Amino acid sequence: MSVDVTTLQSGISVVTDAMPHLESASLGVWVGSGSRDERHNEHGISHLLEHMAFKGTRRRTARQIAEEIEAVGGDLNAATGAESTAYYARVLKADVPLALDVLSDILSEPAFDRDELVREQNVIVQEIGAVADTPDDLIFEHLQLIAFPDQPLGRSILGTPKTVRSFDGAKLRDYLARNYRAPDMVVAAAGAVDHGAVVAEVERRFASFNGPAGPAPEPARFGGGTRVEKRELEQVHIALALAGVSQHDPSLYSLQAFTNVLGGGMSSRLFQEAREERGLCYSIYCFHAPYSDVGMFGLYAGTDAADTSELMRLIVDEIANTAETISEPEVARVKAQMKAGLLMALESSGERIGQLARQMIAWGRPIPLDELVAKVEAVTVESARAAGRALIARGKLATAVLGLGSGLESAAAIAETLTRRAA
């Protein structure tokens, strides 16, 4: 595989990874702007803009956008995150110019037709309702809000029905002009692609994007606290969060190793003890989400109301215990998992462009595989333990509990004992 990078005079970065054995190509545009970049009166506008990009341009109707890509057997999609928004396609190698034309068209010439806007606002309101009806999604909305209170990073990416319906074409254009700037944009392509040809297409089709980088979002602050919501459900849903580390923190990989040992798979401590040994839950897992300036360690479990307190005690004990007793075999196992994940991602052109684009946005360059593997290999038992201890010692915990039962408040109180241990 061969990774090439070119930065155009406008500031747009083009990164490609040629995979000559493929007949197809994945390509997309990543913008270093997401829900964190929304002002107070713009809650949900990033996600609405992503939807509206597909609803017609000066040259194409919404139907034509879909039909032109699908007529050549391709597909087109997008996703909004806290710190970036992605628009991407997968096509056969002969249709790479078409895909780039469509992607540039939907970003540079969106029509924002009023009737289309009203329809899409209604679609997103339905999406918001779907989350509200899905407790293992809703619990993370609550958790994010508690972890990052009174700031964009803590708000739902979807917005609220009221905010989504408040936007018009003028507000969408203002947001687009302010945040979709060439220095904040990465065009990534992998598979059956030629770097020079992609660069030439991007230079021609994305010429309207120029100017300096968009404004930086406000710094994030991990808050913490508790939210208990009583709701008639079959299970009690529990989510915890602790202040993690940013993408640039030297302990990032050690914390990921700690996270995986604790709750990263079927062999993890929490899965084995909570599910396999005690039968307290069906689903339990941990994750670490690093952002540009902060991170969030999270844990989720769903359990019966009668088992809530026992499960929470187990979780608190296991987090504290893991930070002191991670073993050499456990570290070796999760390091193998982490390296396998990096290597498996290389086999998919779609995974590859996402990885390359995120690296360009976060670090300004693609990170060679050997460098990533070296960072994983550098994790030791002591560094993993230290990352776990530091996680607890930061002293702020966010807890969200959703369901029915008399033990919800006591479960939340048990969770709070975790950070008191480190005090």
How many Cα atoms are found within 13 Å in the side-chain-facing hemisphere of 419?
18
Which residues of the chain form CATH 3.30.830.10? 2-205, 225-422
Encoding tokens for residue 344?
């498996």
Question: What number is the average pLDDT over the span 386-406?
Answer: 92
The predicted structure's pLDDT at residue 184: 96
The predicted structure's pLDDT at residue 408: 77
Does the pLDDT value for residue 122 go beyond 90? yes
Binned at pLDDT 50, 70 and 90, residue 417 comes out as confident
Question: What number is the average pLDDT over the span 7-28?
Answer: 96
Does the pLDDT value for residue 100 go beyond 80? yes
Question: Which of the two residues, 405 and 333, has the higher pLDDT score?
Answer: 333
Does the pLDDT value for residue 267 go beyond 90? yes
**Tens-digit pLDDT profile for residues 239-261:** 999 999 999 999 999 999 999 99
Distance CA 321, CA 81 (A): 33
Question: What number is the average pLDDT over the span 183-211?
Answer: 95
The predicted structure's pLDDT at residue 239: 96
Q: What is the mean pLDDT of the chain?
A: 95
Architecture of domain 2-205: 2-Layer Sandwich (3.30)
Distance CA 382, CA 143 (A): 30
The predicted structure's pLDDT at residue 422: 57
Strands (E), 19-151: 24-31, 75-80, 85-92
Residues 421 and 355: beta-carbon distance below 8 Å: no
What is the strand order of the sheet 75-80 is part of?
A: 2-7, 13-18, 185-191, 24-31, 85-92, 75-80
Q: CATH for 225-422, among 2.60.40.420, 3.20.20.70, 3.40.640.10, 3.30.830.10?
A: 3.30.830.10
Distance CA 29, CA 13 (A): 10
Question: What number is the average pLDDT over the span 90-108?
Answer: 97
Alpha-carbon dihedral 147, 246, 252, 281, rounded to 10 degrees: 20
Does the pLDDT value for residue 82 go beyond 90? yes
The predicted structure's pLDDT at residue 360: 97
Write the single-letter amino acid at 179: N
**Tens-digit pLDDT profile for residues 37-80:** 999 999 999 999 999 999 999 999 999 999 999 999 999 999 99
Binned at pLDDT 50, 70 and 90, residue 10 comes out as very high
The predicted structure's pLDDT at residue 345: 87
Does the pLDDT value for residue 158 go beyond 80? yes
Does the pLDDT value for residue 423 go beyond 70? no
Q: Secondary structure of the chain in the HEC alphabet?
A: CEEEEEECCCCCEEEEEECCCCCEEEEEEEECCCHHHCCHHHCCHHHHHHHHCCCCECCCCHHHHHHHHHCCCCEEEEEECCCCEEEEEEEEHHHHHHHHHHHHHHHHCECCCHHHHHHHHHHHHHHHHHHHCCHHHHHHHHHHHHHCCCCHHHCCCCCCHHHHHHCCHHHHHHHHHHHCCHHHEEEEEEECCCHHHHHHHHHHHCCCCCCCCCCCCCCCCCCCEEEEEECCCCCEEEEEEEECCCCCCCCHHHHHHHHHHHHCCCCCHHHHHHHHHCCCEEEEEEEEEECCCCEEEEEEEEECHHHHHHHHHHHHHHHHHHHHHCCHHHHHHHHHHHHHHHHHHCCCHHHHHHHHHHHHHHHCCCCCHHHHHHHHHCCCHHHHHHHHHHHHHCCCEEEEEEECCCCHHHHHHHHHHHHHHHC
The predicted structure's pLDDT at residue 1: 57
Binned at pLDDT 50, 70 and 90, residue 421 comes out as low
The predicted structure's pLDDT at residue 276: 96
Binned at pLDDT 50, 70 and 90, residue 210 comes out as confident
**Tens-digit pLDDT profile for residues 375-394:** 999 999 999 999 999 999 99
Question: What number is the average pLDDT over the span 214-237?
Answer: 92
Question: What number is the average pLDDT over the span 165-175?
Answer: 97
User: Global pTM?
Assistant: 0.94
Share of the chain above pLDDT 70, in %: 99
**Tens-digit pLDDT profile for residues 310-355:** 999 999 999 999 999 999 999 999 999 999 999 998 899 999 999 9
Binned at pLDDT 50, 70 and 90, residue 134 comes out as very high
Does the pLDDT value for residue 135 go beyond 70? yes
Active site residues per annotation:
50
